[in-house]
Each structure stands twice: as C-alpha cells, then as structure tokens.
Structure 1
Amino acid sequence: MTDLANNPLLSFSGLPKFDQIKAEHVEPAIDHLLETGRSSVEKLASSSESPTWANFAKPLEDMEEKLSRAWSQVGHMNAVVNSPELREAYNASLPKLTDFYSDLGQDERLYAKFRALKNSAEFDTLNTAQQKIVENELLSFRLGGAELADAEKARFKSIQESLSKITTKFEENLMDTVNDFSHFVEDVAELKGVPEDALQAAQEAASSDGKSGYKFTLHFPSYMPVLQYCKNRPLRELLYRAYATRASEFGKSELDNTPLISEILTLRREAATLLGYKNYAEMSLATKMADAPADVISFLDNLAQRAKPFAKRDMQELTEYAAKLGIADMQAWDVAFVSEKLREEKYAFSDQEVKQYFPEAQVLAGLFKVVETIFGVHVKKSQAPVWHADAAFYEISDQHGKAIGQFYLDLYARNNKRGGAWMDEAITRRKQDDKNGEDNIVTPVAYLTCNFSAPVGGKPALFTHDEVITMFHEFGHGLHHMLTQVDDYGVSGIKGVEWDAVELPSQFMENFCWEWDVIRYMTKHVETGASLPRALFDKMIAAKNFQAGMQTVRQIEFSLFDMRLHGEFDPNGKQTALDLIEQVRDEVAVVRPPKWNRFPNGFSHIFAGGYAAGYYSYKWAEVLSADAYSMFEENGVLCAETGQRFWHEILAKGGSRPALASFVAFRGRAPDIEALLRHNGMTASA
C-alpha cells in the first residue's frame, strides 16, 4: 500500500519538500488528490443547499488550490531537473489531470450553481475580487464546453486530452534535441574571438565528458558567444544550422515537431469551432484585453508601419558594415557577429567588456535595492529545501519585518533543464481559516528560473547586460505574484490577469536597467572591484536603441505569424506553417533566414506555452509598461511615492479587476503608444 501520510507532495503546510520529492511520489499523490477532488465536486454539485460563497465557491477553490500546489511542484521539477523517471511519472499523471479539469469545466451542475450565485442577493454583498472570480468562472465554464450537447462535450474533452499530450511532447522534443547535440573543437585556433570565459566553460564541459578540447551545445550560454564573437564563419554556420533546425525533419524523426504543429492547430481550431468561435484566435481573446483578432492585427500593422523604416535603416547599415569585414553575402549566422563588431566600432565597447562589471551577487543586490527603494520592502536570503545545488531561496518582508512573499532562484543553464527564463507560482496568496477560527494569510511563493552561464574557473557567474534585463523582467513577474494584496485565490497575484497584461510588471522592471542611479550601485568589476565607469554607461545608453527597429519588426513577425496561424490559417489546406511565416516575412521582416530554417518547430511559446494567439502580448505590454514607466520618469525614477502607487493600483490588485482599469487608476488615463516609440528611439527626431 502506498504511504500517503509521508508523501511530500501531500504536505500543504509550509514550503515544498524538494529534498524529499521523488518520481515515485508523483502518481500516488496526484491520484489521491484527484480522487478526493472528484468526491468534493460530487458533494458540492449534488448539494440541495442554495449556493453561497462559503458553502460552494470557497470549498471548490480549496480543493483546486491543493491540486494546483502539488502539480506545480511536479511540473517545476520536470522543467528544471528532468529525468526519464520524472518525465514518465509526469506524463502518466498529465492525462488524468486533463481528464479531471475537462470534467470539471463541463459540469453543468457546477455551472448552474455559479449562475445561481451570480443571480443571488448574496452576489452584491461579495467583495470585488469574489465577484470577479464568479464572473471568471462563468466564462471558464463556457470556454470549457459546459454549454455543449453531450456528444460535443465528449469530443471537446477528447481534444483537450490530446492537446495536453501533444504540447508536452512538443516541449520534450525540443529539450531532447538540445540535450542530444554537442560539437567538439580540438584546436583553439578555430575559436578566435570567443571570449575567455566562454572558452573556459567549453573546456570544462569537454573535460566533464572525459574529452579534450572544447564542447559546444545549443544551450544559449554556449551557443550564443560563438554566434556573436567567433571569427570562424563555418563554425558559426554549423551551430546556427543545428539551432535553427531543432526538432525538425533534419534530425531524429521521432523528435520532429512538424507533424505536431499540424495536429495542435487542427485540434485547437476544432475546439474553437465547437464553442461557436470562427477560429482559435477569437477563442483565445475571450480572456484577453483585446476584443478581436482584427484589432490585434491592426495594432501590429500600425507598429510595423512605424518601425519598419528604422529596421530598414538598421539593416542597410549592417549590410554595408559586413562588406567592410569582407562578408559580401551576409547570412543569418553572420548577423550577430557583424552586429557585435558594428556596435564595438560605433560605441567603442563590447558586451563582453560590460559583462565583467556584472557579477551575480552585485546584480542581485542592485535588483533588490531598486525593489526596496520604490516599494519599501526588504529582500533577504533565507533557507528552504531546493531541487538542485544551483537553486537558492529568498524572502520579501514589509517595513515591519513581516514576510509577504518568498521565492526560489535557479539561474544557470544545465542539461535536463528547459531553456529560456520564466516565473511560475509555487504557492498563491489567499486567506484561509485556521483551526482557531482566525483568519490567516498564506504567504505567496514564486519560482524564478533563468538559463545564464554558471560560474567558471573559480570566478562568480558574470551576466551580460541583456541577462541583467532578463533578471529584472522575471523579477517583475515575481513581484506581481508576491506583492498582491488580494486574499481570494482565483484572482490573487497573476491569477485572472488578462494574458496580454501579464507582461506589464515584467517589462516595466526592465526600464531600471538603463538608469545610472540604479546601475552605478549594482556593478563591480570581477577583477578590480571598480564600479562601471560613467563613460562606459554613457556608451551603453548611446547604444541602447542599436538595431531597435530590427528587433521590433522581428517581434512583430512572430506575433503576426501566431495570430494568423490561429486565425485565418487552415492547417488542412495547401499552405504550411512555413509558407505562412515566409508570407509574414515578406510583409515585415528585414532579416531573412535561410529556407531550411525551421523556426516554427522551436516556437514553444505558442505550441507548448500559454501564448497561442497571444504572442502579441509582449508588444502590447511594452506599450503599457513604457507608458507606466514614463510616470516614474516624470516624478523621479526611484520615487517611492510613485512606486507605492504602482504597487497598490497594479501589483496589489492582481486579477481582481480588469487590467485596463488598473492601468488607468495608476496612470490617470488610457495607454499611449508614444512612450514605447520614444523609449525605442523610433520617433521623428531619432
């Protein structure tokens, strides 16, 4: 018999027991929670009592919170310390969870009780957050298929189960392709231009495999320095080709994501049609700020029109400079290299030079100082069980020393860890009744995960300025989760926040990475201990919008591709996803990758993440964040009064009211695109 009493995934008091969780704990814990969950649902659904918040909505929320908390630990470990055993356990439980949530979302009895609660006299006495939760639940039931006929319900549920499996497989294929690839270089002469720390990391990687020379992989800290600095053009091409063809027909057939893309799009389209939407894009926008796909496309087209002249100017400059370097036919694998050389010549500094001033401890201290200054909180390192020696744990306390948030930090790239950077919820703030009948608040806990270069050669980890920006970005998400003051689970932190507004706090935090009063205190040269010189910072500011036009149209390219893919594209038609992205590039791109580039096969944001028909959120949230930050520019970038206002009107409110209402409450007006264009140097005077 399974020992449930000692299963660490079933411990809901205190922090997760990451030092005890094993693959063998996953299925018994999830099976138990699903069994008790179904029992709770049945009891609530069949009750003859008139539904109230206390006897219906709250108990349902309590059940979901436990299941969500346990599964978040499993999903997190599957992403950061993936193993065959853990993957097997994860994949065995995933269909059961999908089945449970599909049944939950289609339960007409629960749906009827939420409708009755909405129409009851009690609804008017609920607080704003609770009313929003009830309204969100009603929409969720409609989107879950609760209004469908029985046969359609069964088909909708089958689609959700298939999508769950296929999107997970998409991410696994990508991770396995990255883990499978390595390229060894014996002769250091072939690596001219590659920075010393990247060489040292490659040498240590080869040595740990029991080999001589230098090992390069498709993990970003290994791959990117070669693309950016290596003079060996064939080596740049080799690594670019491997990266650009991940999980495609050019590798192992069992890891090819091409057929999965068609399956995912076909199933999403069918699900949307079943619910009465014209396409999946329409269905996706039901929970976002934007009203219709046409509005999103109009926003992106307008932005493209404003940005493309700057992008063309960037590209012309780059092409001319490439010719000076003897590269007459600049290719995709040359772009990062030529860009870095051009930046060094134009602004007389390199990313590598700047990186020496950003050791990990100093960056974190600087980040925490910003947060402490503008929000009046305190961040300190603390202790908790972790999943890997790289991970650390921290606590955020208020001015009275009371803990208001906690977070795990896992910064370095490694094998069996998903690529990219992200924030996720470990524990969500909520008010619960303790055994003495008193109210108590559950402290929110976040996971903050990045894939930066680990320390090498006895030196601390050093971050590029772009990585510093990424660190601030993810911490912004973390603040949204941890600084919430909403006590009701369903709209606490980032829960219930429209997807196209979720990036507002993260992109807002990025702005501080360009302020001298911030940077001067968060830099310390790894060898000399000197702070970043003002002259070097001024060069960075001068270079801030270097190729901003190119970068903007690239994001628009991805956003338009995503929106059209889930809108007008027919996955069963003659046109392929590759054809569609080429068509989008015809309209907006200035950099054309080779025909064999398989970008869609690695676009996990939309095929395995939550950004399907929502990738435009990054650009829309940039509008919100730039405009929000302009208020700090007006009042002083480290203004505590403005910081408190941002906290209380945006971060604290979570999903308890529409994101636009929170923005207007903070800024005093609707968002304006001009601040974004100004921040990116794309104005008439630029």
Structure 2
Amino acid sequence: MTTAASFPTAPQTPPSWSFTPHDISGRTKEIIDKSNKFYDSMSQVESPAVTNFVEPFMKFENELGPIINQLTFLQHVSSDKEIRDASVDSSLKLDELNIDLSLRHDVFLQFARVWQDAQSQADSIERETFKYIEKSYKDYIHSGLELDEPDRLKIKEIKKKISVNSINFSKNLGEQKEYITFTKEQLEGVPDSILTQFETIESGSDTLYKVTFKYPDIFPVMKLASSSQTRKQAFLADQNKVPENEAILLDTLKLRDEVASLLGYDTYANYNLYDKMAKDSTTVMDFLNDLKKKLIPLGEKELQILQDMKSKDVKKRDQDEDPSYYIWDHRYYDNKYLLENFNVDLEKISEYFPLETTITRMLQIYETLFNLKFIETKNAQEKSVWHEDVKQLAVWNMDDPKSPRFIGWIYFDLHPRDGKYGHAANFGLSSSFMINDTTRSYPVTALVCNFSKSTKDKPSLLKHNEIVTFFHELGHGIHDLVGQNRESRFNGPGSVPWDFVEAPSQMLEFWTWNRNELVHLSSHYKTGEKIPEHLIDSLIKTKHVNGALFTLRQLHFGLFDMKVHTCKDLQNLSICDTWNQLRQDISLMSNGGTLSKGYASFGHIMSDSYSAGYYGYLWAEVFATDMYYTKFAKDPLNTKNGIQYRDIVLARGGLRDINDSLKEFLGREPSKDAFLKELGLQN
C-alpha cells in the first residue's frame, strides 16, 4: 500500500466514529423528526413535479443514507456493548420509521400523480430521475399502498414485527459467547500452534481448551481433530448455538406468509422475487432441482472415496469406532484426502501467506486490474476508526496517473472479538452521489472478516479459503467504490438485482486459483520466500476436488430457504425435521440419527434480500464464470478488460438493466456453458 504522505489529500474526509450511546440515541431522534417533517411537507405539495417533489426526495435520501448506515453498523463492530446496544435500538427505531414512511398513503398518491405525468413526458425527463420515479412508484405498489386502509395497517404492524425479529436474530448471533471445552487428548491431531490460541480452563486435574464458535477456533477442530467423537461434539455444539433464534425464525416465516397473502401472492417467495432476475419460485426451483439432479451422481462418487478413507482409517487405528461417514466427518476427511492425494497441507501453505503482506499484494492485483490505488491513512481525528484493529484506506482512480481522482474510503476490520459480526461481509456505509452538478459525495465501505490475530510467536497467517474470502468481499467493496451514477439509490451492490449481487465478487475468486497471482501473493512469514511450485501445483489441482459435495451443500441452504418460504402449512411444518432431512438428502451425508438446528444461525434467511433468495449465490455464479472465462482467463491482469468491467458492469450499478450491461461487456448474451463446465457437468 502506498503511504498517504506521497499522495494528494483526499477531497472528502472520512467519517468520524466518536459516537457515544447518547450520540446514537440523539442522532436517531433527529433523523426520525426530520424525516416525518419532510414527508409531511411533501404530502402537501400542490401539483407535484420533478423540481418541487422528486428532486427534494432524491436529495433527502442521498443525505440521510450515510448517517443511518453508520448508526446501524456499529452494532456489528463496536467493542463497547453499550454502543452496540444503542445501535441495535437505533436500528429498531429507524426500521420502524422506514416502515411507516413506506406506507404513507398520502405520499404514495403524490408519487402516483408524478408517475402518471412522467410516462407522457419520458423523453424530457433525465434518465436517473425517470428511473427514480418509476422505482418509487412500483415499490409503493409492492408494499400494498393500493390496498384499503385496514389491510395497510395490518401490513405495517406485521412488517414492524418482522423487523424486530430480524434485528434480534442478528443481535443474538453477534452477542453469543458460547463455547465447548476439550482436553488435549480429545484434540489429538490439532497442532500446538493452534492449541495456543485457545483459552484454557482448569478443571480438577485436567486442563480444558475453550473452543469458541468463531471461525479461527471451530474450523481447525473440525478439520484436524482425529477423534470422530470430538468432531461430532464440536459440530453439534456449533450447529445448536443461539437456540433462542429458532422461535424467532418460525415466527418470522408465519409473518412473511401473512404479508404475502395480504398482498395477493400465493407464497412469500413469489412476493420477494418480483424484482429479482429469476422473477418467480418456479424458475428458482427448476434451476436448483436441475443442478441437484446433475450433481448427485458426481457427489456420490466423491463421497464413496471419503467413506472408504474413513473405513480404512478406523480399521488402521484399531478403534471401536463407527466406520460410517457422518456430516461431522466431512471437513476432516476432505482435508485428509487433499493432504494424502495431492500433498496439500493447508497449514503449511498458510505459512506463505502472512496477513499483512498478503493483503498488500492482493491490493496490488486490484490496483492493476481496475487501475486504482489504495492508500492507508490515519487522520487527525481522535476516533478515526471504531476499533484499534481497523485499517482506513483512501482509494484513487489512476486512469490519468498525473491527476489521480479520489473515489472513496474503505475500511478493513479483520479479526474476531466479542460482540463482533461473526462471519465475513462487506457493509456499504455510504453510496456515491452528486451533491450538486460539480461536487460528488464519495462512497464509504467496510470489509468485516474474522481472521486469526497475530501472536507473539507468529503473525496472522491466511488459509487459502480465507484468501478467497478476502478477494470475494473486496469485490463487493470495489462495487461500492466505483459507482458513477448521480443518485445513491443506483450505485453499489444494493442497486442491482439481488440474485446478481454476488456475481462480481464470485468472479474475482478465480484469481485466487491462478498460479501467477498466488506466487505474487506469497511470502513465507519467516524467510520471505515465495511459495514453492510443488505446493502451488498441488493446491491448484484441488480446486474441483469434492466440488460436487461443496455445491450440494450450497443447494441444501438454497432449497431449505425456498422450502420454508413456499410452505402454505407453516403451522404443521417441523422446521427441524425439514432442515435435517433436506441436508441428508441433498448433501448425501448422514446425520447419524441426530437432529441439529443450524437454521438458528443461518443469518441470510432473516435478511429481506436473501430470504427466498439464497439461491442467488448459485444463480450469480453463472454470470461470474461466464465473465471470467470470456474476458480474463487468458490474461487475468489485463487492465483494459478490467477497466471495461469496472465501468460497464460495476460503475453503472442498477441504473441499467443488468442483462444489457452483461451483453455489452461480453459482446453477446450471457451463457451458462462456462458454469456447467466449471462444475464438471459439461465438456
């Protein structure tokens, strides 16, 4: 990363993070009061038109979005529980406000008048303005504003309950501090280098290792513990965490179904798919079931190899152990298979990818591909970031090297801590928009991950799958940063159909499987040496090993999501039986007669965007794979193609139909051929 001292000063200062709980509460109240007053005034506008109605709405939305995102983001990352709680409270109040505003019938009538006029004057209205009017009007219709008042009030009441459920579900996950303990004997196979990261508890004459459900703790146990009983205990404990979320999910499913029925949809899935690429649940189910049918024969072959491996392993160990293959065995034998058949020692490989060096070189790849520059900065503000671990970077467009153009701020928050969001995600904090004809408000975005921290003996080392994760999430960040539309609504990942949103990030994962890029990223944490060719070769050969089983796991999530959101008899649905039976049928792995409740930590299913939408991960891969093989496979660091992709697919956001942008970038209609070949389903 280039230092700030050798670069121009950014024209926009980054946000301040010096919030107290009182500040969060006060700012939230200000937003609520200001919003209600604004909507009241807009409802009174006589002869609403673009200049006196639409433009004020766009300006209001642009200006309020960044502070709302900041206030509600802190619940996921602050190390201060009082601030997290205040942020949760802010989210509850602002969600309630948003529901109230989205169901303002008087404002809807104003938009209906403007929309009627706009259709006859389309040629004279600026494109983004016309699109804003159209989307606003259709969103109001979709929210039920054409219904009579009693039904509108019912919808408002139900949506508020759903909002509370969603926030509480997420809070429970973020605040959970559950763990499981093992003796050193029970953790046989887990190397000392990992054992040292666990806290210990003295219990009589035994020293117990405290394994939390954060990724750096639980995953190594699942991958490396040689005892099947240990793996089973770890798997079930992790799956059954936050049990209070089960009731929240069940209640939410019933509430969603009620909303869909009031709005005239047969299922919640069809209600929530109306603005996605797939459009309806029939299309989604056809897509998922077709993949399932094609993948199961491949998955069965992969599973048989692993089953045989466990049988031999049990016999060799001469233990009174069940030789059957269970779901909690999979990470262990998948890892063992890679090691024994491809000489892939993932722990050894990680020694060549210390976090700091790897990220610096990762950014160099993005800089080359998209013609950008990342500058790590620290400003004079006392609270320039929300935690001492966080890095703040200014990002510049280098199309004219003599005159770099600032495009926004990005944060990296990479290590686990109590109360922090437990997975990996990109949070868009402020979308790009034009303040006036000459001045832009620049985007702010944050990558939140959970990679192990450095110790006194060893720096943080990235596993290959963590490198893939970082590339993926940074892809969302780039999407946020390069938006060039005037209105914030049309920039960034949130502006495109939600079953396309993962495609840009999935495409960038391909770089993490390329020899040259992996060599470039590598630097042994002790010697600085590049990763040896034999390790690179063995790793690359494993890209599709057990790939069908991996995709079938994704299909389990997608089909479960669709199953519960198309069910018309939720009263009699056993969500636990459904989850476990589907997983056994689709992933092909036995539950061993146990029932686990992984849906209680399935965060995506509680999101408005991903509910009845998890299929989008696989759907989007069709476009990701097509883009990569068409434009980048032969020359992954082709800056010309990277800039085309940046400006055609990413920068235009949701202003254009995504199919039109894809067609322009690819030079033809999108095709699923590359996707099927990648999965081994087509020659």
Task: Report the Cα offset of residue 378 of structure 1.
Answer: 1.1
- The answer to whether structure 1 residue 423 and structure 2 residue 458 are counterparts is no
Task: Report the Cα offset of residue 566 of structure 1.
Answer: 0.7
State whether residues 195 and 225 of structure 1, in contact with CA within 8 Å, keep that contact through their aligned partners in structure 2: no
Q: Deviations over 1:503-559 (max 9, x none)?
A: 011101111101122111110011121111122111111111111000111111110
Aligned counterpart in structure 2 of residue 85 of structure 1, from 82, 87, 96? 82
SS in 1 for 2:217: helix
Partner of 2:40: 42
Over 4 Å off, 4+ runs: none
Partner of 2:646: 647
Distance change >3 Å, CA 676–CA 620, structure 1 → 2: same
State how far apart, in whole Å, the 1-side matches of 2:669 and 2:295 are.
22
State how far apart, in whole Å, the 2-side matches of 1:421 and 1:580 are.
27
State whether residues 394 and 406 of structure 1, in contact with CA within 8 Å, keep that contact through their aligned partners in structure 2: yes
Partner of 1:314: 302
Give the 5 Å matches for 1:90-169. 90-118=87-115, 119-120=117-118, 122-169=121-168
Partner of 2:263: 275
- The answer to whether structure 1 residue 405 and structure 2 residue 408 are counterparts is yes
Partner of 2:673: 674
Q: Match for 1:637: what amino acid?
A: P
State how far apart, in whole Å, the 1-side matches of 2:429 and 2:160 are.
24
The worse-fitting range, judged by mean Cα deviation, of 77-86 and 353-362 is 77-86
State how far apart, in whole Å, the 1-side matches of 2:505 and 2:550 are.
18
State whether residues 30 and 67 of structure 1, in contact with CA within 8 Å, keep that contact through their aligned partners in structure 2: no
- The answer to whether structure 1 residue 370 and structure 2 residue 365 are counterparts is yes
State how far apart, in whole Å, the 2-side matches of 1:540 and 1:271 are.
48
SS in 2 for 1:592: coil
Aligned counterpart in structure 2 of residue 358 of structure 1, from 345, 349, 353? 353
SS in 2 for 1:521: helix
State how far apart, in whole Å, the 2-side matches of 1:459 and 1:122 are.
65
Q: Deviations over 1:385-411 (max 9, x none)?
A: 111111111121112322112101001
Distance change >3 Å, CA 85–CA 633, structure 1 → 2: closer
State how far apart, in whole Å, the 2-side matches of 1:465 and 1:475 are.
15
Count of aligned positions:
652
- The answer to whether structure 1 residue 288 and structure 2 residue 276 are counterparts is yes
Q: Deviations over 1:407-428 (max 9, x none)?
A: 0100111211121111111111
Distance change >3 Å, CA 681–CA 647, structure 1 → 2: same
State whether residues 92 and 167 of structure 2, in contact with CA within 8 Å, keep that contact through their aligned partners in structure 1: no
State whether residues 117 and 123 of structure 1, in contact with CA within 8 Å, keep that contact through their aligned partners in structure 2: no
State whether residues 80 and 416 of structure 1, in contact with CA within 8 Å, keep that contact through their aligned partners in structure 2: yes
Task: Report the Cα offset of residue 334 of structure 1.
Answer: 1.8
State whether residues 325 and 589 of structure 2, in contact with CA within 8 Å, keep that contact through their aligned partners in structure 1: no
Distance change >3 Å, CA 338–CA 611, structure 1 → 2: same
State how far apart, in whole Å, the 2-side matches of 1:175 and 1:397 are.
33
State whether residues 473 and 505 of structure 2, in contact with CA within 8 Å, keep that contact through their aligned partners in structure 1: yes
Percent sequence identity is 27
State how far apart, in whole Å, the 2-side matches of 1:84 and 1:74 are.
14
Q: Deviations over 1:195-223 (max 9, x none)?
A: 343222115x769xxx9663311111101
State how far apart, in whole Å, the 2-side matches of 1:108 and 1:36 are.
19
State how far apart, in whole Å, the 1-side matches of 2:633 and 2:391 are.
36
Task: Report the Cα offset of residue 176 of structure 1.
Answer: 3.8
State how far apart, in whole Å, the 2-side matches of 1:122 and 1:440 are.
28
Partner of 2:174: 175
Task: Report the Cα offset of residue 83 of structure 1.
Answer: 4.6
State whether residues 632 and 638 of structure 1, in contact with CA within 8 Å, keep that contact through their aligned partners in structure 2: no
SS in 2 for 1:456: coil
- The answer to whether structure 1 residue 324 and structure 2 residue 312 are counterparts is yes
Give the 5 Å matches for 1:240-639. 240-248=235-243, 256-326=244-314, 328-384=323-379, 385-399=384-398, 400-433=403-436, 439-572=438-571, 574-585=572-583, 587-594=585-592, 595-608=594-607, 610-633=609-632, 635-639=634-638
Give the 5 Å matches for 1:10-29. 14-18=13-17, 20-29=18-27
Q: Match for 1:305: what amino acid?
A: K
SS in 2 for 1:50: coil
Q: Match for 1:402: what amino acid?
A: R
Query: Which ranges in structure 1 are unaligned for 5 or more consecutive residues?
Result: 1-12, 249-255
The worse-fitting range, judged by mean Cα deviation, of 459-468 and 74-83 is 74-83
State whether residues 635 and 642 of structure 1, in contact with CA within 8 Å, keep that contact through their aligned partners in structure 2: no
SS in 1 for 2:485: coil
State whether residues 355 and 464 of structure 1, in contact with CA within 8 Å, keep that contact through their aligned partners in structure 2: yes
State whether residues 88 and 171 of structure 2, in contact with CA within 8 Å, keep that contact through their aligned partners in structure 1: no
The worse-fitting range, judged by mean Cα deviation, of 55-64 and 372-381 is 55-64
Partner of 2:194: 198
Give the 5 Å matches for 1:184-223. 185=183, 188-203=184-199, 214-223=209-218
State how far apart, in whole Å, the 2-side matches of 1:46 and 1:343 are.
67
State whether residues 549 and 682 of structure 1, in contact with CA within 8 Å, keep that contact through their aligned partners in structure 2: no
State whether residues 79 and 387 of structure 2, in contact with CA within 8 Å, keep that contact through their aligned partners in structure 1: no
Task: Report the Cα offset of residue 587 of structure 1.
Answer: 4.7
SS in 1 for 2:196: helix
State whether residues 486 and 493 of structure 1, in contact with CA within 8 Å, keep that contact through their aligned partners in structure 2: no
Q: Match for 1:429: what amino acid?
A: S
Q: Match for 2:587: what amino acid?
A: A
State how far apart, in whole Å, the 2-side matches of 1:420 and 1:206 are.
26
SS in 1 for 2:198: helix
SS in 1 for 2:462: coil
Distance change >3 Å, CA 126–CA 194, structure 1 → 2: farther
State how far apart, in whole Å, the 2-side matches of 1:28 and 1:494 are.
30
Q: Match for 1:98: what amino acid?
A: D
SS in 1 for 2:147: coil
State how far apart, in whole Å, the 1-side matches of 2:518 and 2:255 are.
48
State whether residues 322 and 328 of structure 1, in contact with CA within 8 Å, keep that contact through their aligned partners in structure 2: yes
Task: Report the Cα offset of residue 245 of structure 1.
Answer: 1.0
State whether residues 484 and 651 of structure 1, in contact with CA within 8 Å, keep that contact through their aligned partners in structure 2: yes
Partner of 1:6: none
Task: Report the Cα offset of residue 193 of structure 1.
Answer: 1.9
Distance change >3 Å, CA 680–CA 206, structure 1 → 2: farther
Distance change >3 Å, CA 655–CA 206, structure 1 → 2: farther
State how far apart, in whole Å, the 2-side matches of 1:238 and 1:62 are.
54
SS in 2 for 1:393: strand
State whether residues 200 and 456 of structure 1, in contact with CA within 8 Å, keep that contact through their aligned partners in structure 2: no
- The answer to whether structure 1 residue 71 and structure 2 residue 68 are counterparts is yes
State how far apart, in whole Å, the 2-side matches of 1:680 and 1:359 are.
31
Q: Deviations over 1:429-483 (max 9, x none)?
A: 00012xxxx6201111101111111112343211100000000000010111101
Task: Report the Cα offset of residue 161 of structure 1.
Answer: 0.7
State whether residues 623 and 673 of structure 1, in contact with CA within 8 Å, keep that contact through their aligned partners in structure 2: yes
State how far apart, in whole Å, the 2-side matches of 1:398 and 1:650 are.
16
Partner of 2:318: none
Partner of 1:9: none
SS in 2 for 1:346: helix
The worse-fitting range, judged by mean Cα deviation, of 42-51 and 405-414 is 42-51
Query: Which ranges in structure 2 are unaligned for 5 or more consecutive residues?
Result: 1-11, 315-321
State whether residues 496 and 658 of structure 2, in contact with CA within 8 Å, keep that contact through their aligned partners in structure 1: yes
